[in-house]
A = this chain, B = another copy of it.
């Protein structure tokens, strides 16, 4: 199966700590990296965790709070120095374009490659990128400024043909293509062989959902069901539930509620307030509601779907 995992680059909320940088992460599918959010320090974290920077062709920005975007200037500039030639696609709130253009212009930093900018649409679930392997959707969340989550959904693969059947029915390449798409096979004598006798169902498409800074929004259930992995911000512990509401963030328990509601297989919580020196409390509060929860930490790798990557852990390195 093609690899599909998330690499956390920053797990802190607005204020970095000595251990945690603010939000950014990379989704890898088949070794291709997709960047989500670009906090200050992202380019350094990309190097630290050996992400092939020039292979990033798509950047998704959830909202324009500084702790999610202040790494974009440096990254775009560095691509210049690194001799980037290929287009860079940015999917972001409309205002991001003027923010980075203004800074680069004021700084006379003319990019030698093309940036294609795609403003996010605040109305519902929108398909924003599609390629051979993946469909990426945006959907609105609720925070103190317009904010989006993202769904990375694997495309439905063709059925797998049972090898012995190729010889048994002397199937041609063109027969095989049709059968893999789900057609029955008609023998020369007119006998019909049902598709399910010739094929094995492909694995279920895997799905990753990223929920950035937001109040817990139950209505996203209409866009998402059964994600293999859900990232949900969990800035606060229960004891600071009021501050969470006031600043339009979520608690760890609320993140777990959402994971349960969506029938997620696994939850990773992040965007922790720097007030918490230890995160055991947040983890415990989430696990009570949704047992398969892990804490994000800078550098961890979390597989989407089957756990072929044994890199994530429930305890803290601190």
Contact = CB atoms under 8 A, between A and B. Distances in A.
A14 B81 contact: yes
Interface stretch (A15-23, A169-177, A288-296): A15-23
Contacts of A65: 107
Contact of A106 (B16, B17, B71, B99): B99
A272 to B, nearest CB: 14
B67 A14 contact: no
B102 A40 contact: no
Interface residues of A, number: 35
Nearest to A73: B70
Contacts of A109: 66
A236 to B, nearest CB: 14
A77 interface: yes
A66 B74 contact: yes
A8 to B, nearest CB: 15
Interface in A16-69: 16-18, 21, 40-41, 43-44, 47-48, 64-67, 69
A102 B73 CA distance: 14
B145 A108 contact: yes
B66 A107 contact: yes
Nearest to A102: B102
A188 interface: no
A224 B3 CA distance: 59
The residue among A41, A67, A73 with the most chain B CB atoms within 10 A of its own CB is A41
B43 A43 contact: no
Interface string A83-111: 00000000000010011001100111100
A14 B77 contact: yes
A16 B75 CA distance: 10
Given A16-B44, A40-B74, A102-B106, 15 more contacts: A14-B77, A14-B81, A15-B81, A16-B47, A18-B47, A21-B44, A40-B40, A40-B41, A40-B70, A40-B71, A66-B73, A70-B70, A70-B74, A98-B106, A99-B107
Interface of A: 14-18, 21, 40-41, 43-44, 47-48, 64-67, 69-71, 73-74, 77-78, 81-82, 95, 98-99, 102-103, 106-109, 145
20 contacts: A14-B78, A14-B81, A15-B81, A15-B82, A16-B44, A18-B44, A18-B47, A18-B48, A40-B40, A40-B73, A41-B44, A66-B107, A66-B109, A70-B70, A70-B74, A70-B77, A98-B106, A102-B106, A103-B103, A108-B145
